[in-house]
C-alpha cells in the first residue's frame, strides 16, 4: 500500500510541476529561423537573422518604480513583420516594417515594476532582419 501511495504522490507532483511551470509565459515563441542571433537581458534585447518566419517574444522587465520607455531600431531586407508590445495586459501595435525598410523610435512611458512583452510576428518568410530594443529611464 505504501508503494502505491508513493507512486500516486510522485505522479501528482510531476503533473503539478509541469502545469505550474507552463503558466508563467503569457506569449509563446514559435518560429523557424536560420542564422539567428539573440540577446535578452532585463534592460535590452536584440535579434538578428538570415531568415525568419513565425513569432518571437522578447521579455523586458522594469525592475523599479521609475518611469521608463523603450527605444527601438529595426531593419529588414525582405518580407513583412509586425511588432507589438504588451505592458498592461493589452497587445498594442508598435510598428510594422516591410521589404528594404528601416524604423526607429520610442514607446510611450511605462510606470511601475512590471514585465513588458515585445512580440515580433512575420507575415511569412523574411530575410536579413535586425531588431533592437532598449529599456531607458525617463528624465521626466
Tell me what the pLDDT averaged over the chain comes to. Answer: 85
Is the model's pLDDT at 20 over the cut of 50? no
The share of the chain scoring above pLDDT 70, in percent, equals 83
Q: Is residue 79 part of a domain?
A: yes
Give the model's confidence band at 13: pLDDT under 50 very low, under 70 low, under 90 confident, else very high: low
Span between the terminal Cα atoms of the chain, in Å: 66
Residue 41's nearest CA partner among 138, 133, 140 is 133
Residue 104 belongs to domain with CATH number: 2.60.120.260
Instruction: Show the cell assigned to 73.
Output: 531600431
Give Dmax (Cα) for the chain: 69
Q: Is residue 20 part of a domain?
A: no
Q: Domain range holding 88?
A: 27-137
Q: Is residue 22 part of a domain?
A: no
Beta-strand ranges (E) seen in the chain are 30-34, 37-40, 44-61, 67-78, 80-86, 91-98, 101-106, 110-111, 115-122, 126-137
Between 140 and 31, whose confidence is greater?
31
Q: Is residue 19 part of a domain?
A: no
Q: Is residue 72 part of a domain?
A: yes
Q: What is the pTM of this model?
A: 0.78
State how many domains the chain has.
Answer: 1
Contact 89, 114 (CB under 8 A): no
Q: Is residue 53 part of a domain?
A: yes
Q: Is residue 21 part of a domain?
A: no
Contact 118, 83 (CB under 8 A): yes
Instruction: Give the model confidence (pLDDT) of 108-124 as tens digits.
Output: 887 776 888 999 999 99
- What lies within 8 Å, CB to CB, of 52 at 6+ separation is 31, 32, 33, 34, 36, 79, 122, 125, 126, 127, 129
Q: Is residue 127 part of a domain?
A: yes
Amino acid at each position: 500500500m505504501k508503494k502505491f501511495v508513493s507512486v500516486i504522490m510522485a505522479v501528482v507532483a510531476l503533473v503539478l510541476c509541469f502545469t505550474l511551470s507552463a503558466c508563467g509565459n503569457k506569449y509563446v515563441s514559435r518560429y523557424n529561423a536560420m542564422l539567428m542571433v539573440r540577446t535578452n537581458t532585463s534592460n535590452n534585447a536584440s535579434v538578428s537573422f538570415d531568415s525568419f518566419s513565425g513569432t518571437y517574444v522578447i521579455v523586458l522587465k522594469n525592475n523599479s518604480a521609475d518611469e521608463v520607455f523603450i527605444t527601438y531600431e529595426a531593419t529588414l531586407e525582405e518580407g513583412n513583420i509586425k511588432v507589438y508590445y504588451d505592458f498592461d495586459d493589452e497587445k498594442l501595435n508598435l510598428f510594422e516594417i516591410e521589404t528594404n525598410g528601416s524604423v526607429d523610435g520610442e514607446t510611450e512611458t511605462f510606470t511601475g515594476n512590471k514585465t513588458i512583452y515585445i512580440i515580433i510576428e512575420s507575415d511569412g518568410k523574411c530575410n536579413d532582419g535586425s531588431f533592437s530594443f532598449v529599456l531607458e529611464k525617463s528624465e521626466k
